[in-house]
Amino acid sequence: MLKLPTSRELLDFFFEASMATYASGAEAKESTTLPGGKEYTYERCDLRYVDRYVSGQVGNRGQSAGHTYIEFVPEQRVLWIAGYDGWWLKTCEGVNSFHRRALMAAYENRQFRYGRGPEEYEEEIFTYHHEETEPLCEENSREWIYAKIDGDTRLVFEHFCFQRTLVELPRK
């Protein structure tokens, strides 16, 4: 019988995989299972990380929705999953690159906040916020980015997120 990773091993793998995919600035590949979608994958030993999403545009807003999961490959069993959906202002150059850097700041410091970024992160014209909501709410967390544009502070990015551990993992 194969051994599931401990919760610590799963968390270590999450940070390793997250820092090697979207947050790193790596280019996503075309998804073979989600029409029009993109995906990042990362695999080590018996674990596979998949971040799969679709995006589009409505007016001047980019729209996206996706999910990230970690699979125990020998059993084809998803151990952890997170979902996100939201929008960003297409006319605000650099907002998605800033989002990647905010997430990377959390991952490098091993801050696990529903798999998203730190509570607050600032750089140049941008400020990132991440708020955890009640665990039983429809959204478990919300992340948003404000930008200082022409003397005004404007909301330029917003995502709603959730995450779930789907199996009980060994502690040691």
Cα-Cα-Cα-Cα dihedral of 72, 11, 114, 56, to 10°?
-50
pTM of the model: 0.90
Report pLDDT for 135: 53
Residue 139 in this model has a pLDDT that exceeds 70: no
Q: What is the mean pLDDT of residues 112-140?
A: 81
SS3 at position 171: coil
- Please state, for a pLDDT cut of 90, what percent of the chain lies above it: 78
| Residue range 41-46: mean pLDDT, rounded | 96
Q: What is the pLDDT of residue 137?
A: 47
Q: What residue ranges do the domains of the chain occupy?
A: 7-165
| 163 confidence band (pLDDT: 50, 70, 90) | confident
Q: Is the pLDDT of residue 157 over 80?
A: yes
pLDDT digits (tens, 9 = 90+) for 52-72: 999 999 999 999 999 999 999
Residues 31-43: tens digit of each pLDDT: 999 999 999 999 9
Q: Which amino acid is residue 156, in one-letter code?
A: V
Q: φ, ψ for residue 150 (rounded to 5)? A: 50, 40
Tell whether the torsion through CA atoms of 53, 19, 46 and 7 is positive or negative.
negative
Percent of the chain residues topping a pLDDT of 70: 95
Q: Is residue 120 very low, low, confident or very high in pLDDT (cuts 50, 70, 90)?
A: very high
